[in-house]
Structure 1
Amino acid sequence: MSTNRKIIHIDMDAFYASIEQRDNPELRGKPIAVGHAEKRGVVATASYEARKYGVRSAMSSVKAQKLCPQLIFVPGRMEVYKQVSAQIHDIFHEYTDIIEPISLDEAFLDVTENKKGIELAVDIAREIKQRIREELHLIASAGVSYNKFLAKIASDLRKPDGLCTIHPDQAEEFIAGLPIEAFWGIGPVTAQKMHTLGIYNGTTLRNCSLDMLTRQFGKAGKIYYDFARGIDLRPVEAVRIRKSIGCEHTLEKDITLKSSVIIELYHVACELAERLKAKNFRGSTLTLKVKFYDFTQITRSISVNTQLHTLQDILPLAKQLLSGVNFEKRPIRLLGLSVSNPKEDISNTTNSNITAYIQLSLNFKD
């Protein structure tokens, strides 16, 4: 396993909230949430002052206000956030052009052969943190390691304004004591399933055979098997291939009536078809997402031999997926649809050239 390469990953904590506080001095030091305060509203990002009360992204606005009665809601300004993200990327490009954007507020950078000839990845991370602070008046955390998995974890360890390195000779011991919930890509549902299998941390995960993990978790089992051993072969991809397009609607009120659900599903399918046309995207898998009144959610997928791109392609399959969902006693809060698995999928998920990474995690995102 090669551990001699270096990369930077960006993960911006409280991104929107930090920008709002930067641009409006009256909001500094106060608990704020970017989003809308109405009954059906959802928190996009919460400031650190609000997080002390338990306010988190994706939380309903009603719950957030109960946790923090003095919470200030601020409407989002997406165009501004895009502009700031571009400014951050301009800084990155002074060190490397191998940048893999994950979203507006997250990216990996390969600095193995960086433009400034800086030998140590940690020095690049420190320099970028300082420039972001001085030029954009925002705070960044950085994690340094030899692959994406460990770099991302490292960046989360000392937020905000942190800098953490996981060296190759420390990785095995570090992973052994890592709670399974902290592993990248393992959410609450998967973690609970692992608990029932006696898997609680890196050590117990490492004791599982590849056969057992793939039997229990499918293709993801191989990823978990590798992660437990500090292996992450994914390269930093300078050009990300779009792999899916989707949309979702939060309903004005929770619904259980089948005719109402079908109407809402139709509207989501129409919007999805428009997005597919605008992006000239086609895929062979349709996924339905349903979030219930209690914020629990499920997904259902179906793959076909044809390429999905019109309403006529999507709606019948969406209804078929919905027919397998029992919502008579579980009111629906949100419906979503997405198309994935494009015909021309040239993404490369395994590469023998493992890259050591710096993950820079700017303190702007949840």
Structure 2
Amino acid sequence: MATATERAILHVDMDAFFVSVELLTRPELNGRQVIVGHAGERSVVLSASYECRALGVRSAMPMSQAMRMAPHAVVIEPSQGLYQEFSRSIMAIFREITPLVEQLSVDEAFLDVTGSMRRLGSPREIGELIRRRMHEELGLPASVGIARNKFVAKIASTRAKPDGLLLIAPARTVEFLHTLPVRALWGVGAKTAQSLQESGITTVAQLAALTEKSLQRRYGASGTHLFALAHGMDDRPVEVTREEKSIGSEETFAVDVFDTEVLRREILRLAHRVSARLRASGKEAGTVVLKLRYADFTTLSRSKRIDYPTSATGVIAKTAHALLQGLGERPQAVRLVGVRAEKLESSAGGYQLSIDAQEDNWRQAEQAVDRIRERFPAGALRPASLVRPLHGNVPDGHRSDPGSIGTEAG
């Protein structure tokens, strides 16, 4: 992989990203069991330190289960604005290395460095450069996988954790894959793995020993995909443009909620989150979606197209409140509520003029709040109407924003 004729793909994944960011301001917690997430029993783990992972704690695990596994862990409330700020810095460093960056999440991306080798050296040297810059400039650990394609690079970065680098030379791709269990293949989930195991296939080497036709007979169209994975074949390019199709935020209540006013208040809080993220992304919403999940896990969503694309909290909240009212009397208590912006458009062309001075005043106020949050990302700035609990039912066991930040596996 030392020449520009061989494609070189890096998969860079930050290690326990949310925890690592939090530890920058809490160095006294280094080496201790740390979980990032809300403390409520019905919330989930967003990130766990490797000390917790050694005990079996994983991202997306229910917090109640995690606390049984690691009863002495320190639980830290997530600092979403701070994670986004670091994410922007991480991606900026990647784009200084190569313009071919495909961002997968706040802390993970593919980089095609084929064209960067003449300037920066071999793929391994570029990978070490990235890891060094992450440590020196941001104080964060990162794991890097290097291979001739995205599929193998991603597996390699997982095997390099924590805080390591693994390069799979093109000539050794198949040899590397054949040392792995079949579950390690990207896209092979529990059902597929079970089906393969029932056929006596538990390793990639066993899978690769079968012909493509035999796999097609057994698994239909998926057989071709399995055959390609087992032989390390993946010609997908690094997709530079990754347009967000929606921006959303949702919360799970600590106690199921009947009270409409509590729901309306929570919807307002979610609308503020969504509108702030729209502005940060340079986007405006053409449609607002309301999501409800009842106590029995029945889930429904309703959407409404708004008059003109906007990132204004007032418009998003008003539309979501109207959708809630349109549902009429609810048959059960609500377990989860979410607000999502869809039909996104760039806000580069400016905003829709309005004869309503109040709307313009709110726009200016929200922009001022955004600037304050950029300067003080860990602050608790919020609308006055959301400061005091309503009837003591403020949801304190939330699950945090899977559509925007989510859990992280690094």
TM over 0.5: yes
Q: Following TM superposition, by how much is the alpha carbon of 1:46 offset from its aligned partner in structure 2, in angstroms?
A: 0.3
Among candidates 98, 122, 125, match of residue 123 of structure 1: 125
Which of these residues, 91, 95, 105, is aligned with residue 89 of structure 1? Answer: 91
Give secondary structure in 2 for the equivalent of 1:11: strand
- Whichever residue aligns with residue 7 of structure 1, its letter is I
Is contact 1:3–1:168 with CA below 8 Å preserved after alignment?
no
**Cα RMSD, aligned residues only:** 4.7
Residue 212 (structure 2) aligned to one of 205, 209, 212: 209
* Local SS of the residue matching 1:94: helix
Whole-angstrom distance in 2 between the partners of 1:170 and 1:290 = 48
Letter in 2 for 1:216: Y
Q: Would the aligned equivalents of 2:148 and 2:170 in 1 still touch at CA under 8 Å?
A: yes
- Provide the residue aligned with 1:223 in structure 2: 225
The list of structure 1 runs, each at least 4 consecutive aligned residues, that deviate by more than 4 angstroms after superposition, is 243-249, 251-255, 278-283, 288-293, 297-300, 307-311, 332-342
Percent of aligned pairs sharing the same letter? 38
2:171 aligned counterpart, secondary structure: helix
Name the residue aligned to 1:200. 202
The corresponding residue for 1:134 is 136
CA apart distance, 1:109: 1.0
Among 102, 105, 108, the alignment partner of 1:103 is 105
What is residue 60 of structure 1 aligned with on the other side? 62
Asked if the contact 2:212–2:223 (Cα under 8 Å) also holds between the matched residues in 1, the reply is no
Counterpart-to-counterpart distance in 2, 1:125 and 1:289: 44
> What is the DSSP-based 3-state SS (H/G/I as helix, E as strand, rest coil) of the residue aligned with 2:115?
coil
Residue 191 to residue 246, structure 1, CA distance change in 2 (3 Å): farther
Distance 1:339 1:25, change over 3 A: closer
- In structure 2, list runs of 5 or more residues that go unmatched: 307-318, 328-333, 345-407
Query: Is the contact made by 2:151 and 2:186 (CA closer than 8 Å) also made in structure 1?
Result: yes
- Displacement, 1:333? 7.3
Contact 1:53-1:68 at 8 Å conserved across structures? yes
What secondary structure sits across from 2:109 in the alignment? strand
Q: Distance in 2 between matches of 1:336 and 1:230?
A: 40
| Conservation of the 8 A alpha-carbon contact between 1:289 and 1:337 | no
Structure 1 pair 110–202 and aligned structure 2 pair: CA distance change class (3 A): same
Q: Which residue of 1 aligns with 2:163?
A: 161
User: Does the CA-based 8 Å contact 1:8-1:125 persist in structure 2?
Assistant: yes
How far apart are the structure 1 equivalents of 2:304 and 2:212? 38
Deviations 1:27-61 (A, max 9, x none): 21111100012111211000112112111111111
Aligned to 1:144: 146
**Equivalents in 2 of 1:341, 1:179: separation in Å?**
41
Q: Is the 8 A contact 1:95 1:116 kept in 2?
A: no
SS in structure 1 at match of 2:52:
helix
Letter in structure 1 aligned against 2:24: R
Query: How has the CA–CA distance of structure 1 residues 251 and 63 changed in structure 2, closer, same or farther, with 3 Å as cutoff?
Result: same
| Change in CA separation of 1:169 and 1:43 when aligned onto 2, cut-off 3 Å | same
* Structure 1 residue aligned with 2:52: 50
Counterpart CA distance in 1 for 2:339 and 2:225 is: 26
Rg: which structure is higher?
2
Match of residue 20 from structure 1:
22
After TM superposition, give the deviation of residue 222 of structure 1 in Å: 3.3
Query: Aligned to 1:177, what secondary structure does the other structure show?
Result: coil
Judging changes above 3 Å, is the alpha-carbon distance between structure 1 residues 3 and 231 closer, same or farther for their aligned structure 2 residues? farther
Q: 2:252 — aligned with what?
A: 250
Alpha-carbon distance in 2 for matches of 1:112, 1:125 = 12
Q: Compute the displacement of 1:93 (Å).
A: 2.0
In the aligned structure 2, how far is the partner of 1:76 from the partner of 1:153?
28
Contact 1:155 1:164 in 2 (8 A): yes
CA distance in structure 2 between the partners assigned to 1:212 and 1:108 by the alignment = 29
SS of equivalent residue, structure 1 residue 84: helix
Select the residue among 167, 172, 175 that pairs with 2:174: 172
Cα deviation, 1:141-181, whole Å, max 9, x if unaligned, reads 21111001111111111311211111111111222221111
The 1:8–1:291 alpha-carbon spacing in structure 2 relative to 1, beyond 3 Å, is farther
Aligned residues of 1:16 and 1:365 also touching (Cα < 8 A): no
What CA distance in whole angstroms lies between the structure 2 residues aligned with 1:340 and 1:211? 43
**What is the TM-score with the length of structure 2 in the denominator?**
0.62
Residue in 1 aligned with 2:237? 235
What code does the residue aligned with 2:186 have?
Answer: W
Amino acid aligned to 1:35? G
Query: Given the superposition, is the C-alpha separation of residues 334 and 166 from structure 1 closer, same or farther in structure 2, using an over 3 Å criterion?
Result: farther
Work out the CA distance in 2 between the residues paired with 1:156 and 1:291. 37
1:43 match: secondary structure: coil
Please tell me whether residue 114 in structure 1 is matched to residue 121 in structure 2.
Answer: no
Contact 1:143 1:165 in 2 (8 A): yes
2:11 match: 9
The TM-score, its normalising length taken from structure 1, stands at 0.69
Q: Deviations over 1:297-326 (max 9, x none)?
A: 9999xxxxxx99699xxx9xxx9xxxxxxx
